[in-house]
Structure formats: C-alpha cells, structure tokens
Chains A and B, each alone.
Chain A
Amino acid sequence: MDASRAAGGAPMSRRSGRGRRRWGRRIAATLLALALGGAGYVYWEEKEAAAREARIATLEATRDRLRERLGRLREKDPLVASAPEAGVLIGIGEAFGSQLLSQATTGFLGQVELVLKNLKVHKAGRVRVKTPLGRMTPGHYVLDVRIEEVRGILEPGPVKLDFGRGRADVSFPVRVARGEGRARLRFQWDSRGLAGAFCDDFTVTTRVGGHVRPRTYPVEGSFDLSMAGGTLTAVPRFPDLVVNLEVEPSEESWAEVERVLGRRSLKCRMALKLVDVRQALERLLDKGFKVRVPQKILKPVRFPVGLRQSVVLEGRTYDLAVTPRALRISPKRLWYGADVTAEAAGAPLEGAVAPPPALPATAEPAPVPETTPAAAPAPTPEATAAPAPPTGVEEESPAPPPSEEAGEAPPAEPTPTPTPPPGKGERY
C-alpha cells in the first residue's frame, strides 16, 4: 500500500507541482507583461502628453506672434484708424455712397412728370401795309392759344458727388426728355377800312398738338448728412429747378392750320399772309411755359442700412437702446455708428432712441416725397420779351402774364368764342 502509494504518488505530486509552477510562471509572466505594458503605456502617455504640450506651446507662441503682428498692421491701416469709437459702426465707401445717393436722386427725379393744364397765351396786332396812298391798316388780328395740357418727363443724368465736411455736394444734369401737348388755337380777323370790302371779319378755331422740345438743365446742390435713430439721413439742399416746357407743333398741326385758313377767300388769304399766323404762333410757343420744381419735393434720403432698436432671437423680440454716437467723414469713407445696450429693454437710456414695440416688418421707404401737393410751380410764359413783329405787323398787345399761381392748376376759363366740335375747325 505504502509502496504503491509511494510508487504512484510521487509522480503525481511532481506533475502537480510542475503544473502549479508552470501556472505560477504563466501568471507571473502575464502580470509582468501587464506591468510592463502598463508602464509602457504610462510612459507612452507621458511622452505623448509632453510632445502634445510642446506642440501646443509652439502653436500658442505662433498664434501670439501673429496676433501682435496683426495688431501692428491694424494700427497702420488708415481705414481701421479712421473708424470712430462706437458699439456698432457702419462705414460707407465714397464710391458706394455716391452710387447710392445717385440712385436715390436719379431714381426719384426719373419718376417726375411735369403737367400743366389750361394755360392761355394771347397775341394781338394791327396789320399795316404801305400803299401808293400811304400806310393803310387792312385789319386787326387776335391769336389766342389755350394749352389744354402739356406734359414733360424728366430724365436725370449721371451724378457727380463729393463727400466733405458733413455733406455731399452733388451736381447732375436733368433733361426734359420728352413730352407732348395739345392746344386749342383761335384766330380772329377784324377788317378795317377798305379791306372790309375784300375780306369779311372772321374767327377760326382749330386744335393743334405737338411735342415738348428736349432741353437739359444743370442742377447743383448738396445733401446734408446727419444721423437720426441709428440711420444716416441725407437731407437735400437744392435750389428750385425752373424748367421751361417748349411745345413744338407737329407737322399735322401746321397742315391743319393751313387748311383752316386756306378756306378763306383769295383776298382774305392775301391779307392773312401779312399776318403770317404760323410765325406768330411759333413765336408764342417758343417762349415756352415755365414750371418750378420746388426743392422741397426732394425728401430726405435714408440710407438703406442702419441700426435697429430691437432684435429677434428665436422668435422673441428684445428691445435695444440705440444712442447715436459718431458721424465721421474721412476722405475715403463715411462712418456712422451708435452705442447699443441691451439692458435698457423698454426703458432706453438717457439720450437714447426709444425702442419701437416690435421689429419693423418691412423696410421703410428711403426717399419719401411728400404725399400732399407741394406749392406749385409757376407756368410763366414770357410775354414781355416778345420779339419784334414781322414786317408790316405792329405789336399791339403783348401776351398777358399768366394769372395762375405757381403750381395751381388754373380753372378752365370760358373761351370767348364757342369752340367748334372736333373736326370742325372753322366757325364762320
């Protein structure tokens, strides 16, 4: 039993002991590997962290150097240096500002139409001729022209604009580009003396039409620049623009006049040649009709960019206090700005612009002409400077000055002679 135990037990014990030692070695090796791995990992981590720290330190140093360099360059930048202190600044380049003001001005004037109604011009004269018996007066004539309506369209040209000292000086041409007019013409002949035997007294009326002669007018003025409610406003300072509408009868109209007068007898036509109705009418119309475009129809132009007195964040509206701060005009740029504070919601700071109840939904109009009629331009036919009458014709009465007050469309006065229906020019 003992022998067998000894014989069989010793190998088992040796095997068991070797197995334990083997396991022990494996565990030890594993632990050693883990320890080495852990140590290696920690070492690698430390090394990596140190390398990362070094990289970051280098990057930070590079960044700081670039910041300093940028700071120095900023100080030298004339545009940055010209910017005044304000919470929010808006800078407008000269060319851009010119373009914007030009667009506003020309856009505005391009929509202007001059309309004159019921203007009357009058010319009367005595026809005198030399005869072997001496000077004779075959008759008197009266030429009345009633302009029923004349329209002229303005077309502004390119704008020259210079910024300086709180304002922008502006000059540009305005052209009366096109237009048309229509008038009723009345010619009255009153024979005198022996002439009455050849030609009866008569009155003819006819309608004439024509176009407005294009003419260009220089305009010079300025815009005063100021800040209002966080927005730059350009207030126009221009003299009134006096435009002369000159109507040129069409060839069809002249043909109609000739036709109407041509219906008279031969002797009458000979007498009328002394008057030269066409020339008399041309001289009347050549003087034109003055229209005064008052400067006050040009309204302040608000630049389409400005500070807002509220902001909307994720559907909620927050009021801001906007205190206009700066307006600086440098040679290249116009700066305006304001301080903005959000703390004063609903109760603006002293001197601040009161915030509106909500964000404006749509843009306000920039150039706003007044909606009520402005004081009127004056149609002023220049009758006093009438040219010398044609040979054989003496001026008797110059055209009377217009009775209308500037800009008011005069009421239609009853014509002395009943007017014929259209197409029937001749009354007698």
Chain B
Amino acid sequence: MPRSATGRDAGDRRPGVVSALVFTVSLAACDAPREPVRVLALETHLRQQIADLESLVARAEKGALVPTDGLVVAVHEDVVRQVAQLALPREQVVGGRFRVRLETADVRLRDKHGAIRLGGRVSRAGDDFFDADIEAELAVFARLEAVAFDRTSGMLSGRVMPIGFELQKLGVAGERPLLRRLVAGFARLQEHVLAELAFPLTIPVGFESELRLAGREEGPVRIRPASCPVRVTVRDAAAHGGRLWIVLGIEAGPWTRAAPPGGRR
C-alpha cells in the first residue's frame, strides 16, 4: 500500500495511544496540519504483505499457484471495485462522535489480501450547527478478508476490513480550532472502532445447493424424482495478478428420492 507523498505517518502502530498522543501533541503545539495525516500500521502492514507474497511465491515455485484440479473462481479487481462501489455511499457514526461518509472505492489485487482504498469525508456527529460544516477528507485503507461461501444467498462473500486511514486536505475549510479538534479526535480512534467501518462484499458467483430431478410417472420410461445435495467450501482465497483467486471444494451427492409429486417443482 503506497504511502502519501508527504509521508507523515503517525507512528508505526495501528491507530493507537502513542501515535494518537504524538499526533495530538503536535496539533496542540502547532496549527492544524496542512499535510495529510496518516494513521496506519505501515510497518506491520508491509511485513504482512511480505509474508503473504512469500507464501504466494513459494506456491508458484511449486507450480501450485492455482490448483490443477477442483473449482477456481477468478474475479477481476475491477469487478470487486464495482461491487464494493455498490455498497457506497455509506454513512455511519463511528466511535459515537464521528460521522464517516465513504463514497468511492479503489481496489488493487496484488498481494494475497489485496488493498482497498475507500474515499470519503469525516465530520463531527451530533446536531451542533457550529461543528456541522467542519469536515476533513478521509481515505480508509482496507483489505479484503473472510472470503467464504454464504449459504443464505448461495453466493461467495468477503469483507472489506479497514486497517488504517488518512486525513487529507486539512485546514482548507472551516475553523481551524474546530478542524483541529476533529482531526485530533478522529486520530485517537482505536482499531476496534475503525472496524465499525467494515462492510460485506458479495461476489456475483452463485452455487446451487442441490441438483434436482423432476419425476416423470407416465409412459414406459419413468423417472423417480430425486435430489442430490451440493456442498461448497472455500479452500483458499488469494489476490494476485489483479484478480482474486478463490479455490473451492464442491461435493455432490448422493442422490436420494425427493418429496412426493405434490412437493416437487
């Protein structure tokens, strides 16, 4: 995940106490910063990316980047972006104090978990007119996680999980002290609060839950109504080469007699 050009990282931890404290002190000592403020565990994130890439390289060296058998679904990053965009704009209050509105999504599928950048704005929640117009541009960095088969919808699903954020274009609008309070407060958000911004993602690939055979009870060739359950499991999901590769296990069978004629389609 690229860092901003100004590269003002607020510590190398997830949005935590020390980074937030340092950032708050800097805000208190100076004016509201005009440069982007990033709260992201960049070092941790990079280490995770490297570990993910190493596992993918090891698989590729064995010729097992994509398994030779079974079922594979490959979703282009542009489709993931479009589906993520369907869930936008979304507005929600996080930490009980900040109203976050996410409007755009950009997706890169390179390093196993991929990188998702959600663009939007953050402002104070509540009904105070003086605070209402104070907002900062926000970029939330997220990863695609928990790819699984959703039995309810019969489709594949994942979860956009935020791991950090960046406040941009500070000090260009609104009262600076108010903006300073907004930025300082938002920067203090803990990881679990940031997780409130997570949202589900549905991949438009569906599975039948069973094969069905309608019966035929007339004529010399008769067919007994039967059904065969289909079980789907996600064995692996990895982003590389601009696609999300999902390896699935499907087991079908055995065939069993279906409900009597009244119950069949």
Contacts and interface: CB of A to CB of B under 8 A. Distances in A.
Given A308-B155, A359-B153, A365 B213 contact: yes
Contact of B43 (A56, A77, A91, A294): A56
Interface in B66-84: 66-76, 78-79, 82-83
Interface residues of B, number: 79
A67 B53 CA distance: 7
Interface stretch (A108-116, A185-193, A275-283): A108-116
Interface string B213-242: 110101111111110101010000000110
A113 B224 contact: yes
Interface in A23-71: 52-53, 55-56, 59-60, 62-63, 66-67, 69-71
Contacts of B54: 66
A304 B220 contact: no
Contact of B216 (A306, A362, A369): A369
A112 B222 contact: yes
Interface string A289-316: 0010110010000101111111111100
B172 interface: no
Contact of A103 (B66, B199, B200, B252): B252
Contact of A80 (B203, B214, B241): B241
Nearest to B77: A87
Interface stretch (A93-101, A123-131, A197-205): A93-101
Contacts of B110: 67
A305 B207 contact: yes
B68 A79 contact: yes
Given A93-B67, A111-B255, A366-B211, A291 B155 contact: no
Contacts of B87: 313-314
Contacts of A332: 68
A219 interface: no
B51 to A, nearest CB: 10
Given A83-B74, A365-B214, A110 B255 contact: yes
Grouping DSSP codes into helix (H, G, I), strand (E, B) and loop, the B interface class, with mixed when no group exceeds half, is mixed
Given A311-B83, A313-B87, A343-B82, A363 B209 contact: yes
Interface stretch (A162-170, A254-262, A371-379): A371-379
B73 A89 contact: yes
A337 B204 CA distance: 11
Contact of B79 (A79, A95, A340): A340
Contact of B223 (A100, A112, A302, A309): A112
Contacts of B226: 107, 111
A258 to B, nearest CB: 32
B50 interface: yes
A374 B79 contact: no
Contact of B82 (A74, A342, A371): A342
Contacts of A74: 60, 65, 240-241
Given A67-B110, A70-B56, A314-B199, A87 B79 contact: yes
B223 A304 contact: no
B66 A77 contact: yes
B204 A363 contact: no
B205 A306 contact: yes
A364 B208 contact: yes
Contact of A371 (B65, B70, B214): B214
A161 to B, nearest CB: 14
Contacts of B154: 360, 362-363
29 contacts: A63-B46, A66-B50, A69-B57, A71-B241, A74-B60, A77-B60, A79-B66, A83-B66, A88-B73, A88-B74, A88-B75, A88-B204, A88-B205, A92-B71, A96-B70, A103-B211, A110-B255, A291-B220, A297-B216, A302-B208, A311-B202, A311-B204, A342-B86, A363-B230, A365-B211, A365-B214, A366-B208, A369-B214, A376-B220
Given A52-B9, A360-B154, 13 more contacts: A56-B43, A63-B53, A70-B57, A80-B66, A92-B71, A103-B211, A111-B224, A111-B225, A111-B226, A291-B221, A294-B221, A377-B219, A377-B221
